[in-house]
Structure 1
Amino acid sequence: MFYARRTDAVLLLVAIVWGSSYLAAKTATDAVPVLVVLFARYAISALACLALVATRRKGRYTRDEIRIGSLLGVTQAAVLVLETYGVAHTSAANAGLIISLTIVLTPLLDRTAGNGSLPPRFFAATGVCLLAVTLLMSGSGFHTPRVGDLLMLAAAVVRAVHVALVGRLTKGRVLRPLQLTAVQTVLGTVLFAVPAASSGLPRVTQVDAAVWGQLLYLALFCSVFAFLAQTWAVQNSSASRASLLLGTEPVWAVAVGIGLGGEKVTALAGLGAALMVTGTYWGQSIERTHRTTREEESPRRTATPTGV
């Protein structure tokens, strides 16, 4: 019981860390350009991952880890570009809520999880989430969507593609999470080095300790710690329980945005937030039940008939 509670606590901590990352990124981008923030986040993460790999006895990288890590590194970088530019132009609360669309978009793209044909109720839940996005983008009244909200919407779609790709590329292969993460962070560092240099990289040396603290938090906690802790916890818990706890990320994004960031939520945005949390949890529950049912029925479908 204690071990299960400890695992749950780690998963909940990951959700809190991810939820708080939007305010940290928004604050950091107020001080330095987005591309500089991304380069610093990747570079610090890469140094930490490479140091951890170096301490392992079997630290060598396999061909699959380098090849798949490189491909996933590109899609992950695309997600972070959209997310970071998006949160720089909208509220941290909105960013965390809109990105949670990934929860209902991923099953639509992932055909390796045994989803097959999803039930109509799942699409109803997706509709609730899309309505929620409309209300969140409206703010205090219906108007042209803000650039930041549209970027976060694009980030949710690309993140869903990234997650589905992770499932497809890692299925049936022995890939170590630490080595895979190291390859992705090194690639991200390389990708953002030149753009960051042309965007004013020297400015990062002039920022105060608070901004450096946010950059270190994004790199070491929101990237390295969160990924490794999530992998460890999921291996020691059920997938359903893990997804339920990690699904609280948008709730923490709102709590941190309002509580620490002093952000305001209008009545329409508040309704959108409630619908988003409801829709994502509903869709998550439907997909999980549907997948479990198909997995239970699969052996019966493939069993060889006996008798005449």
Structure 2
Amino acid sequence: MPSARRVDVVLFLIALVWGSSYLVAKTTTGALPVTGVLFARYAISALACAALLLTARRGARRWTRAEVRAGALLGVTQAAVLVLETYGVAYTSAANAGLIISLTIVLTPLLDRTTGSRGLPWTFFVAAGLCVLAVGLLTAGTGLHALRSGDALVLAAAVVRAGHVVLVGRLTARSPMDPLHLTTVQTVVGSALFLVPAATQLPELAGGSVGTWSQLVYLALFCSVFAFLAQTWAVQRTSPGRASLLLGTEPVWAVVIGIGLGGERLTVWAALGAVLMIAGTYWGQAVERSHRTGIARERRRVGTADAGTAHG
């Protein structure tokens, strides 16, 4: 298989496992308390990272203080995302959760001032407006009403996730960091954060069925460890635009899996909301990418002109 196609397959797999995570999380939280699910997910991920570190010990790069500090901070923000997202999906449909969380795509550029977010074209805000309208339609059901608690929590998770993404970019831009080191610190921090809340639930967690534990292992190994490391590997081997396009299929998979395997149903209004959300996020993503490319091109032009003036 050609290298480009192999990278595309990996990106599709990441989007697929992330899209499937909402139904899996909803199923596991139906059998176990949310904090117990989160602790198990983090603890299994931490053990997997430790195993990877042991196998990669020879020739591995040494840890840096920057990696530990960044990983600790990102561990807190990532835990905040997962607690909001997991509690949210417990009280809404997996399809809704996967669609609403995709708001991260249009929220991230608004929070990231380093890419010139203040000068985003008006078309980006139209795309963002479509996404907001989509949220209203997704949560309306058969009529307009206040946001359900589950939808509101997933919406909050999208906001925090956008901040987390921006923070990842800022912290890793300062100095090169090993993705496995960062992931390991984040999983250890997450395990520590959820250990106390889940302490009283450990007997119930230990008594979980084989099916439930299989889902917990899937969330930890595939939706967390594999997805993060594979994303880092793939993004380094393709263009940012192609990577974001393929990873942007996550909400599509969430809907397909939620309806196909979870037996969920979309009302006519929710189906329209799903179409608007996918269209809005893809449009907003394309506008932001074009805007960012234009800024980079302009900076290169100015830098070349300045260099020419200096030599002149």
Other-structure match for 2:247: 246
Aligned partners of 1:134 and 1:69: how far apart in 2? Answer: 35
How many angstroms does 1:258 deviate by? 0.2
1-structure distance, mates of 2:256, 2:6: 23
Q: Secondary structure at the match of 1:264?
A: coil
1:205-216 alignment, distance < 5 Å: 205-216=206-217
Structure 1 match to 2:205 = 204
- The whole-number CA distance in structure 1 between the counterparts of 2:300 and 2:235 is 25
Gaps of 5+ in 1: none
* Aligned counterpart, 2:161: 159
> Hey, what does 1:132 align to over in structure 2?
134
Aligned residue number for residue 175 of structure 2: 173
Residue aligning to 1:20: 20
Pairs aligned (count): 307
User: Relative to 1, partners in 2 of residues 1:213 and 1:167: Cα closer, same or farther, differing over 3 Å?
Assistant: same
1:1-308 paired onto structure 2 within 5 Å: 2-56=2-56, 57=58, 58=60, 60-115=62-117, 117-198=119-200, 200-302=201-303, 303-304=305-306, 306=309
> Helix, strand or coil: the match of 1:94?
helix
Give the residue type in structure 2 aligned to 1:71: L
8 Å contact from structure 2 (residues 110, 118) kept in 1 = no
Question: TM-score, normalised on structure 2?
Answer: 0.96
What do residues 203-241 of structure 1 show as CA deviations (whole Å, max 9, x unaligned)? 012121110110000000000001111110101111000
Measure how far apart 1:55 and its partner are: 1.8
The CA deviation string for residues 81-100 of structure 1, in whole angstroms up to 9 with x for no partner, is 00000000000000000000
User: Secondary structure of the residue that 2:297 maps to in structure 1?
Assistant: helix
Alignment check: 8 A CA contact 2:111 2:117 kept: no
> In structure 2, what is the Cα distance between the partners aligned to 1:145 and 1:294?
38
Cα distance, 1:114 vs structure 2: 4.7
**Which AA in structure 2 matches 1:273?**
A
Secondary structure of the 1:112 match is helix
Please tell me the root mean square deviation across aligned C-alpha atoms, in Å: 1.4
The CA deviation at 1:59 is 5.8
Contact 2:7 2:234 in 1 (8 A): yes
Amino acid at match of 2:241: S
Q: What is the TM-score with the length of structure 1 in the denominator?
A: 0.97
Q: Check the 8 A contact 1:112/1:167 in 2, yes or no.
A: no
Alignment check: 8 A CA contact 1:115 1:294 kept: no
What is the CA-CA distance between 1:144 and the residue it aligns to? 2.3
Deviation at 1:141, TM superposition (A): 1.5
Return the offset for 1:67: 0.4
Q: Residues 101-123 of structure 1: CA distance to partner in whole angstroms, max 9, x if unpaired?
A: 00000001112335451111101
Whichever residue aligns with residue 26 of structure 1, its letter is K
1:259 Cα deviation after fit: 0.2
Please state whether the residue corresponding to 1:153 is helix, strand or coil: helix
Q: Which moved more, 1:50-59 or 1:149-158?
A: 50-59
Q: Which moved more, 1:279-288 or 1:206-215?
A: 206-215
Unaligned stretches of 5+ residues in structure 2: none
